[in-house]
């Protein structure tokens, strides 16, 4: 089922977290934040929207790493109801990525970010204040190849020390697959 990202106030602080990657290694946001900014993006293994943009996300991470932007991906989905989202499957996907791919086992980090869909990107500045929360780009599965144009434009503005743009197109993707009792109120 398609969903759109929830509004989150620009300038709000990134909730800190420590989550395991697919190999069980703990990764803490404060230890992995980029010197110029940090992209935290909620993704999963089976969503067509994520599959459509995953290679472009990898290119984004590679292109901006040298400029001080770090990427952390988080899988928010319930692996019991969706076996494609197990720790082992996350570890398998992570082998093809240049950035950590983490698991939110109790979904509390996803809730604290108000994440709603995959992909759901949050770009923070060097002080971990929200600069951009919108779509990766305007492409959709079955359409033009993903480029990350919207996120790249926002990142370039951040690196140029320009103010965040107030108008940001919501991300659209697959709804997060919440564990029973975890779904936030709509």
Mean pLDDT score, 103-110 = 97
- Supply φ then ψ for residue 183, to 5 degrees: -60, 125
For domain 2-175, say whether CATH 3.40.30.10 is its number. Answer: yes
Beta strands 172-175 and 2-4, pairing class: antiparallel
- Amino acid 94: pLDDT: 97
- Amino acid 79: pLDDT: 96
The H helix count followed by the E strand count for the chain is: 5, 10
Mean pLDDT score, 160-184 = 94
- Amino acid 186: pLDDT: 63
Contact 42, 137 (CB under 8 A): no
The per-residue pLDDT for range 21-59, each reduced to its tens digit, is: 999 999 999 999 999 999 999 999 999 999 999 999 999
Would you place residue 100 in the very low, low, confident or very high pLDDT band (cuts 50, 70, 90)?
very high
């Amino acid at each position: 089922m398609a969903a759109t990202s929830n509004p989150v106030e620009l300038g709000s602080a990134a909730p800190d977290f420590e989550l395991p990657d697919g190999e069980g290694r703990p990764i803490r946001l404060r230890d992995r934040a980029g010197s110029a900014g940090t992209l935290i993006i909620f993704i999963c293994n089976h969503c067509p929207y994520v599959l459509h943009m995953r290679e472009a996300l990898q290119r984004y991470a590679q292109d901006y790493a040298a400029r001080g932007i770090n990427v952390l991906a988080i899988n928010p989905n319930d692996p019991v109801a969706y076996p494609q989202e197990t720790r082992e499957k996350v570890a398998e996907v992570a082998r093809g990525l240049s950035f950590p791919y983490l698991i939110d086992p109790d979904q509390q980090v996803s809730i604290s970010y108000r994440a709603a869909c995959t992909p759901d990107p949050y770009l923070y500045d060097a002080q971990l204040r929200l600069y951009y929360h919108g779509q990766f780009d305007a492409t959709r599965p079955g359409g033009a190849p993903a480029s990350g144009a919207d996120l790249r434009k926002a990142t370039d503005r951040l690196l140029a020390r320009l103010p965040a743009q107030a108008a940001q197109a919501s991300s659209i993707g697959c709804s997060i697959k919440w564990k029973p009792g975890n779904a936030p109120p709509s």
